[in-house]
Structure 1
Amino acid sequence: MLRRELVAAAAQLAGAGMSPGSSGNLSVRHGDRIIISPTGSDLASLIPERLSELDFDATLLSGPAPSKEYPFHRAFYRRDETVRAVVHVHSLAASAYSCLDPWSERSAVPPLTPYFVMRVGQTPLIPYADPGDAAQADAIEASDSRFRAALLQNHGAITAGRTVREALDAAVELEQTCALLLQLGSRPFRLLPAEAVDRLATKYDSPWG
């Protein structure tokens, strides 16, 4: 069931153009194991029986070699036991926005729309490290801030959720919000009122503040 959900989510991301080439990776947590897309995978072509399965010590239990970016998937699972799925993409708008200075220390992306607050929440910018470098995973795991999404500097986006659907929806919403911000450019624009942000974050149990 979880393997099929992961494969379906990967195909949806690929169909939306959010994982060009062999970029991006997805994982699900199943007890004390992590099931993740293999290294170099085309997300449009995954099959449930050919996913990588590891334990939390990074020991490969079955399947092909996993994505080299396994460490930051594990970091999200370690920092929040309610997280059951993680999505990482190199989508165009989010990748572009990851190259800009962050809006604030706690969130690179401002509260532009209600759906960003509801489905994503605050999204910090994680300092640059080479792909697969454990430094990014260490930064994610060590942070004392509440978040289930992040921009990886000059790299892309990563989102986590209590279900595969939640992580997928967050990735799509984050991409849309970054696209809107890039479209607005340097023109003055209004953010959501602070009281609306607090109300939405509380109502939808979304990390903010």
Structure 2
Amino acid sequence: MRETKLREQIVGFGRSLFERGLTPGSSGNISIRLDDGGWLVTPTNASLGFLDPASISRLDAKGNLVSGDKPTKEIPLHAALYDTVRESQAVVHLHSAHSVAVTMLPEIDPKSVLPPMTPYYLMRAGRTALVPYFRPGDPAVAAAIKGLAGKYSSVLLANHGPVVAGKDLEGAVFAIEELEETAKLYLLLRGLNPRYLSEQQVAELARQFPLPGPDGVHDHH
């Protein structure tokens, strides 16, 4: 896809996420990896609702700014997912409220933050890992994500927000939206003893669909 079209995609999806209240103020960032190894990435302190295609940061393969505004400080976060998650070509990071809320709950399993609640959560986002709190922009977050060894394409940063990698921008956006909806469901049903998908139902899904995350990884071995 031509770079002009990709810039328009970032603007369109950014506006959509912002207008539905999925990332407030100037929070959240989006990147796309280009064929030459460089990136398009949203600028620092830019609202996803009001992006200018010409101002989107263009980085070369070494991470140097080629054109556009100064990029988001969350570059290490995006780079860690590109470096470890196979086939990832786009990364989306938001501060969506329900996803942030579940990171603060005491019962959360860092290797599987949310239970298998719906088939589309597993098909789009896959199981989600939790990484500990780091201040925004801390390069140590990259080491924490690399420690997941590419098994997870959806990750929750404690007290901060979700970050999801996809094969393209549409896939990453749909996955992070599914993650947010599942977090919302979890909070609605918490303490009500809901029925989740069984191990057999998850295994059946994995046989039929290429699931991202650990369920899919194990299925391919």
TM-score (norm 2): 0.90
- Supply the distance in 2 between the matched residues of 1:102 and 1:58 (Cα, whole angstroms): 38
1:22 aligns with 2:26: yes
Shift of 1:63: 1.1
- Supply the distance in 2 between the matched residues of 1:56 and 1:104 (Cα, whole angstroms): 35
Name the count of aligned residue pairs.
209
- Supply the distance in 2 between the matched residues of 1:55 and 1:199 (Cα, whole angstroms): 42
Q: Deviations over 1:112-153 (max 9, x none)?
A: 111111111011001110000011111112323511101100
Q: Among residues 7, 12, 34, which one is paired with 1:8 in the alignment?
A: 12
- Supply the distance in 1 between the matched residues of 2:72 and 2:208 (Cα, whole angstroms): 35
Shift of 1:195: 1.6
1:38 aligns with 2:43: yes
CA contact (8 A) 1:121 1:201 kept: no
Q: Which runs of 5+ in 1 are unaligned?
A: none
Corresponding position of 2:147: 142
Corresponding position of 2:84: 79
- Larger CA deviation: 135-144 vs 13-22: 135-144
CA contact (8 A) 1:22 1:40 kept: yes
Partner-residue secondary structure (3-state), 1:124: strand
- Supply the distance in 2 between the matched residues of 1:202 and 1:67 (Cα, whole angstroms): 39
Corresponding position of 1:124: 129
Partner-residue secondary structure (3-state), 1:136: helix
- Supply the distance in 2 between the matched residues of 1:126 and 1:55 (Cα, whole angstroms): 28
Q: Deviations over 1:2-57 (max 9, x none)?
A: 11111111011011110111110111010211111000011111121110112343
1:51 aligns with 2:56: yes
Q: Which runs of 5+ in 2 are unaligned?
A: 216-221
Question: 4+ residue runs of structure 1 moved beyond 4 angstroms?
Answer: none
- Supply the distance in 2 between the matched residues of 1:194 and 1:201 (Cα, whole angstroms): 10
TM-score (norm 1): 0.95
1:169 aligns with 2:177: no
